[in-house]
Amino acid sequence: EAGVAQSPRYKIIEKRQSVAFWCNPISGHATLYWYQQILGQGPKLLIQFQNNGVVDDSQLPKDRFSAERLKGVDSTLKIQPAKLEDSAVYLCASSFRQGIQDEQFFGPGTRLTVL
Amino acid sequence: AQSVTQLGSHVSVSEGALVLLRCNYSSSVPPYLFWYVQYPNQGLQLLLKYTSAATLVKGINGFEAEFKKSETSFHLTKPSAHMSDAAEYFCAVRIQGAQKLVFGQGTRLTINP
């Protein structure tokens, strides 16, 4: 079974530029998550989708971050404009359902450096 | 709100020695608890989870953890460390009615030959 795919793996941009990340979850997984992992910290949930609907985006900085999952499969996370403090690893995860016991499977992440 | 605290951002043990990584949680309702491992440049992988069944939970790669309600702890142990165990370990909590996982800050485990 193929895992969660993410691209690009690494991205370096200047502050105030825009950037987009892509995630393809495991086939058949209805729930998709985007996490931000700042160096030295644990992952923090940015947004959770159930199919193509948003379940939780309470920690997404909506003035600069946006995410979509139009067809309920793959997803993109965008930052516009980027700030220095956005430097982090962005992890995508998926699960079959959103139940408390449903395991979340993580992709390898995209490491963003903002200069 | 629920939270987890991992005691010690870095732990170093010798190969063959006991591994003990500490995690304490804060939750007003019975929690579900998880341990994840992250190898360099990789995503997180589930090691084990506590879901209110047996308090001693066995996971992959010889790891286990014990849920102790009286101590609000869920420490991760392995009797004998192997070089391949070197990684970052995260404790996480999730409660019924709340969708998201809340992670601790992580503990980096180093194995000395």
pLDDT digits (tens, 9 = 90+) for A10-53: 999 999 999 999 999 999 999 999 999 999 899 999 999 999 89
For residues A31 and A57, what is the distance between their CA atoms, to the nearest angstrom? 13
Q: How confident is the model at residue B98 (pLDDT cuts 50, 70, 90)?
A: low
In angstroms, what separates the C-alpha of B25 from chain A's closest C-alpha?
A: 14
What's the one-letter identity of residue B55? T
Nearest-by-Cβ selection for A106 from B41, B43, B104: B43
> Nearest Cβ partner of A56 from B45, B92, B99?
B99
Position of tokens 């923090």?
A44
Which residue has 């994840």 as its token pair?
B36
Q: Please determine, for residue A61, whether its predicted confidence score (pLDDT) is greater than 90.
A: yes
Mean pLDDT to the nearest integer, A74-87: 97
- Between B58 and B96, the more confident residue is B58
A44 in contact with B at a CB cutoff of 8 Å? yes
A98 to chain B: closest CA residue: B99
Q: What is the mean pLDDT of residues B44-48?
A: 94
| Inter-residue contact B56 to B64 (CB < 8 Å) | yes
Percent of all residues in chain A with a pLDDT value above 90, rounded to a whole number: 83
Q: Which of A72, A71, A67 is nearest to A19 (CA)?
A: A67
* Contact predicate A49/A75, CB 8 Å: yes
Query: DSSP string spanning B43-56?
Result: -EEEEEEE-SS-SE
Evaluate if residue B44 carries a pLDDT over 90. Answer: yes
List the single residue in A with minimal CA-CA distance to B49: A101
Question: With contact defined as beta carbons under 8 Å apart, do A85 and A74 qualify?
Answer: no
Q: Which of A47, A103, A105 is nearest to A79 (CA)?
A: A47
Q: To the nearest whole number, what is the mean pLDDT of chain A?
A: 93
Q: Are A93 and A41 in contact (CB under 8 A)?
A: no
